[in-house]
Chain A
């Protein structure tokens, strides 16, 4: 290895190593697609199904990492954030997105009209998911996560402007509109990762 290196850069590369396999985007696409389909088929079960997918789906991702990622770049665990920092961040973004949704309804005129709340729902999904991807971008350092965050917020606002409010079609379109590009980005990331990180030959343990 070279004598001239940047310690901060070594740390940054180690922190971002787990995001290069595209699995987080594929998982996010699967979650959003499942919620969108559930919203169309049985809206009453969305909360339960979403919770189950997030809880058990991550275990599937971890298994895939064990078969695909770790044999190529090695096993590691990210350093987690302090639980209170994570909780504070999530609550802040939820409050902001809820506040913006209420603001959108107020701007529309009639807060007693249920269709205005349905119409403004993409604002909340757009901003809250933007928060999630902005946080991911902070951890991964990848511009594509930052772009997805901005795209989520922008499409959320756009769908509020064009949705009718007769149903939750704005939210469904927002989730589908995020899931499809995320699936494409994740697939590209995984293929690129597999091409650039061949399996290691021979024993790789100390």
Chain B
């Protein structure tokens, strides 16, 4: 039997549940801060920081440090690349799930 392609080969960066949730939240809003992302995803501070760094490294989100008065506020936004990656991931997974029904 020849080599068969793997049935599931998703974008690993998006496939991780924490990062997928982060991308989904940022896909739904224009921009959000750290607390909002924590509240919506249920991730801990450490996990959230780690995931956002990876997503920023891949160019999927952009991070902006700002101040509201004297209080620092880090703002997160989904980039066009991130939106495309999420869209492609969804299409890929829908195709995979459709193929096994």
Q: Which residues of A contact B (CB under 8 A)?
A: 1-3, 5, 7, 10-15, 17, 66, 70, 73-80, 200, 204-206
Contact = CB atoms under 8 A, between A and B. Distances in A.
13 contacts: A7-B24, A14-B25, A17-B36, A73-B39, A74-B32, A74-B37, A74-B38, A75-B36, A75-B73, A205-B34, A205-B35, A205-B73, A206-B63
Interface in B31-48: 31-43, 45, 48
A10 B90 CA distance: 14
Contacts of B1: none
Given A1-B17, A1-B42, A10-B21, A79 B34 contact: no
A17 B37 CA distance: 11
Contacts, number: 92
Contacts of B63: 206
Contact of A200 (B29, B35, B68): B35
B72 interface: yes
Nearest to A12: B28
Residue with the greatest number of chain B CB neighbours at <10 A, chosen from A1, A10, A206: A206
Nearest to A10: B24
B29 A77 contact: yes
B84 interface: no
A146 to B, nearest CB: 20
Interface of B: 17-18, 20-21, 24-25, 27-43, 45, 48-49, 52, 63, 68, 71-75, 90
Contacts of A5: 17, 21
B90 to A, nearest CB: 7
Nearest to A75: B33
B66 to A, nearest CB: 10
A74 B36 contact: yes
B41 A1 contact: yes
B64 to A, nearest CB: 11
Contacts of A78: 29-30
Contacts of B28: 10-12, 14-15, 79
Contact of B29 (A66, A76, A204): A76
A77 B25 contact: no
